[in-house]
Chains A and B, each alone.
Chain A
Amino acid sequence: MLYSRVAIFGGVYSNHLALRAAIEDARRRGVQKLFCLGDLGAFGPNPDRVFPLLIDAGVVTMQGNYDNSIGNDLPDCQCGYTDPADNYYARLSYQYTYHKTSPRWRAWLKSLPSQIRFELKSDLAGIRSELPNPQPWRVLCCHGSPRKINEFLRESTTPTHLLEKFCDDFDADVIVATHTGLPWMRRLSRGRLFVNCGVLGRPANDGSPLVGYTILDADDPNLATYVPLAYDHESLAAEMRAEQLPEPFVQTILTGWWTTCLEILPARERARGKW
């Protein structure tokens, strides 16, 4: 499929309010297609509220490790959180999400594709001078990395030479991933690009309750733009409390600071947070 302007959503984490706001926001910005790169559950309340929104908006949805676990009735989320502090909350969240996801949606999660490919091309006659020929950008969407669904590619731990190899080995000009919860981008050789599109499910550990997503636009010289997104986070927090989800999760939604799943973070990303 060929597009010129698309929106890419990362992990939803049961945040149906942020998802609704993102769909509306992306449509206002005139995108042709919406994509979601998986991790539809975890952390937030009432997972079943997410799926109808995706279906009704025609969002092309991919399977993340969380969806793979829930869909296949696995005992944990496969996030690789095994430090005791991280694991305690991860287990709570997974048990809640699993039991609150109805069987019909679990079957749907199991059926989702593990990667998405499409092409991005400008409607204008312009030629990108970096490329030898005018051609579409080959975009590869994956959840964690092109080689592994739950591999964390974080800005401070991912060498440029690894990203270049991914583009070479997986025949892609643009690689988009989510999974880490923290948006970032890196320009590569020959005009190629790696993008972590961020997540809708919880803030980016920066002290702001905003979440975000990414727009790819073939007419934009930068190609990719991260779009911060406001939504009714106070209502989500109230819903989480009504569902008796852990207070540290609620605090993250309200304050924008991660309170859990911290031990797995490398030094740079950990230092930027509050906890």
Chain B
Amino acid sequence: MRVLVVEDDIDVQRFLRRALEEDGHTVDVANDGVTGETMAGDAAYDVLVFDRMLPKKEGQDIVRDLRSAGVSTPVLMLSAKAETHQRIEGLNAGANDYLGKPFEKDELLARVRALWHGRDRNGPVTRLQVGDLEMDLLARTVHRGGAKIDLQPREFRLLEYLMRHAGQVVTRTMLLEKVWDYHFDPQTNVIDVHISRLRAKIDRDFATPLLHTVRGSGYRLEA
């Protein structure tokens, strides 16, 4: 996919470019807000990555103007200011996700992929399927290989998120933010335990595991 990176810090810019290119994306870069906005307006990109504080025009203002000009390309905002209210401000301006600096490469790649996949959904989805695992979003039921699996409401949301991003790496922070709406960093391995509970329900009685641990980054649901 084509990614536009607008970042004025040359080191961070180089890091972003290399990470995204390694992941198989085509990357263009801009150094300031005005150039970035002009390039983004072409709408030839699949994902836009903006720094929040840019010379000439702030990332947040660019997103707001792009959105009011009808450009709906998903935006990931990067910022050293990752406080809750700044995050909310960024999202209100029209950004689709917000990542605090410094960040892990895997975290960045996972979020960029998640944004791109999220965009392709046409209309509301009522069924999700990964391999022989099926989720009915209306009846709120889950079956694997025809057998019904009972899930707690939160487990259901966790699995739903994983299924919506099937095949992608999903980080612990992403799960914490998107499934629980928590924006702090628990000291204990809380997320891992939730995952292993879920894994026990969907994988234990079956020959092929679907929920994989990606060492050092997070998890991936894949058939």
Partners in one complex: no
